[in-house]
Amino acid sequence: MRFEMREMRNSGGKRTSMKPNTQAATGGQRKSASRSEPLGVNTEIGRKLKQYYDELVSEDVPDKFADLLKQLEDRETPSSTSNEGN
């Protein structure tokens, strides 16, 4: 298969990139580092993303959520002993 890259004409005669076959063959390896962890801690975006999220996760949780779950739990077992008057 012959490579006919038309863009080559416009690239100002730079010939260094004219080895598409070997590039294609090894390209996967070259990229694998960034591809396997595109948002890893050694990327700026990856770091900021974690910083942004960790800040949210570590916020104090208002009591209303625990209260809500308590209510839901109590609702589940209405025949509780507390109401056994007689």
Residues that bind another protein (CB under 8 A): 30-31, 33-35, 38-39, 43-46, 48-59, 61-62, 64-66, 68-69, 72-73, 76-77
CB 41 within 8 A of CB 50: yes
Nearer to another protein, 77 or 82 (CB): 77
Buried b / exposed e across 27-53, counting CB within 10 Å, b at 16+? eeeeeeeeeeeeeeeeeeeeeeeeeee
Q: How far is the CB of 26 from another protein (least distance, A)?
A: 13
Q: How far is the CB of 79 from another protein (least distance, A)?
A: 14
Distance CA 50, CA 41 (A): 8
Nearer to another protein, 80 or 86 (CB): 80
